[in-house]
Amino acid sequence: MLNLSDRRNCFYWQTDRNLSPEDYARYFLNRQAVSNDVLVTILRHGITGLRDTAKIEIITPDENVLKGNVNIVRKIHIDDKPFIARFHPQGIINGYFHAEKLALQKAKEHGVPVPEVVDIHQATQPTDMDFMLMTVSEGQTLSIALQNKAANEAVILKECGRVMGQIHEISVDGYGSFDNDKAKHEKLVGLHNSYHDFIHAGLDENLSRLTHFNILSQDEKQDISSIFSEMDFEPQGKPCLIHNDFADWNLLTDNLRVTAVLDWDECHAGDPIADLACWSTFFPKQRYASFLEGYKSQKALPLDYEERFHFYRLRYSVSKMALRAKRRLVDDCASLNELIRNGTLALAEERAWFKSLNKPKAINPQSSQCR
């Protein structure tokens, strides 16, 4: 089995996992083709948190659960009671479900709307599958609600920003991706000793990949490398819980409120401004003002917010473009090429922003608002 559970050298797991383009196509592009019979068999043999289950039924997947690039998500009924199951593809050991469970527990304790984890199963052979069984949350995926014009976008974006700020009030230990082995023993601890180490994980390889695929020139690569060698940011005090994939397709809504925050597969311990920067890479710029207004109603921004925001936005842009460049080798579709065009523009915008500072200065800020 392909073991992808070690995240020590990963900034963004989807980018830095040790997968060839062919591996990506084999395990992830065709993951939805697995039959219901296979999923039922795996559930029946793997469920431990629900005893004496007599009937397991897989519900036909709809547009609310067919999102993302990693997991197989299905609505299921166990003895006529509804649940959500998230499976990793066969042949893959991912090893983050225990960390996700603890992150969800911390979020729930702080009043953030999240589902509850009922069971976790780890695969032991190639025909088995890792899975997480969760309760069902009310609401519709925000991306679908907005597509159907069911929600007032400005209002719900403010609410989304407020909920992200609520998550950032949760203190955690360590930095970067969480140690899943420790999470099995109820300890949510980042794998790194500093946020610097997490930010730089995979950076050199990502930049080399972008030059290899002619997305960056050697001079542009050097410009970006210089920014990350001359600038540095650390959260003051304890780092915060970062969702790291706070996108419309991972949020449920009743068209006024966020009713659930889903898919914590990329969560980590770090600087809250990184989460804002990550969010900004998903959507057009005009959406960000409403989102940030809602965020600030819950949590104040640090004095050096702007420098932090662009620093992290550049790091996410590099990482996402490195992923897209490799993925295009086996998935050269129109939507991916559009993402690559947008990402190329984002890289150019961030390089231009840093050039406008004349020369990056080493920064050791003391104003992060983590609590």
SS3 state at 267: coil
**Structure confidence by residue, pLDDT tens digits, 194-248:** 999 999 999 999 999 999 999 999 999 999 999 999 999 999 878 999 999 999 9
Q: Structural domain tally of the chain? A: 2
CA 98 to chain CA mean position, Å: 15
Q: Do 293 and 145 sit in the same domain of this protein? A: yes
Q: Do 209 and 288 sit in the same domain of this protein? A: yes
Q: Which residues contact 370 (CB under 8 A, 6 or more apart)?
A: 168, 171, 235, 236, 237, 238, 239, 240, 271, 272
Q: How high is the pLDDT of residue 371?
A: 29
Q: Do 165 and 122 sit in the same domain of this protein? A: no
Q: Do 215 and 350 sit in the same domain of this protein? A: yes
- For the chain, give percent helix, strand, coil, nearest 5: 45, 15, 40
Q: Do 174 and 125 sit in the same domain of this protein? A: no
Q: Do 123 and 244 sit in the same domain of this protein? A: no
Q: Do 168 and 33 sit in the same domain of this protein? A: no
The closest alpha carbon to 351, from 318, 314, 315, belongs to 314
Query: Distance between CA atoms of 250 and 262, rounded to whole angstroms?
Result: 5
Residue finishing a domain among 105, 137, 169:
137
Average pLDDT, the chain: 91
SS3 state at 99: helix
Residues 31 and 86 sit within 8 Å (Cβ to Cβ): no
SS3 state at 150: coil
Q: Do 257 and 197 sit in the same domain of this protein? A: yes
Q: Do 331 and 211 sit in the same domain of this protein? A: yes
Asked whether residue 366 is assigned to any structural domain, the reply reads: no
**Structure confidence by residue, pLDDT tens digits, 304-339:** 999 999 999 999 999 999 999 998 998 888 989 999
What's 334's domain CATH number?
3.90.1200.10
Q: How high is the pLDDT of residue 277?
A: 98
Q: Do β-strands 2-3 and 92-93 pair in parallel, antiparallel, or remain unpaired?
A: parallel
Residues 210 and 231 sit within 8 Å (Cβ to Cβ): no
Q: Do 103 and 171 sit in the same domain of this protein? A: no
pTM: 0.92
Task: Indicate if the pLDDT at residue 51 is higher than 80.
Answer: no
Q: Do β-strands 268-270 and 240-242 pair in parallel, antiparallel, or remain unpaired?
A: antiparallel
Domain that holds residue 38: 2-137
Query: Distance between CA atoms of 370 and 286, rounded to whole angstroms?
Result: 27
What's 36's domain CATH number?
3.30.200.20
Query: Distance between CA atoms of 64 and 67, rounded to whole angstroms?
Result: 7
Phi-psi region of 25 (alpha: psi -120 to 50; beta: other; left: phi over 0): alpha
Asked whether residue 360 is assigned to any structural domain, the reply reads: no
Would you state the structure tokens that stand for residue 187, as one six-digit string? 């300890």
Average pLDDT of the residues in 345-349: 96
Q: Do 165 and 110 sit in the same domain of this protein? A: no
Asked whether residue 362 is assigned to any structural domain, the reply reads: no
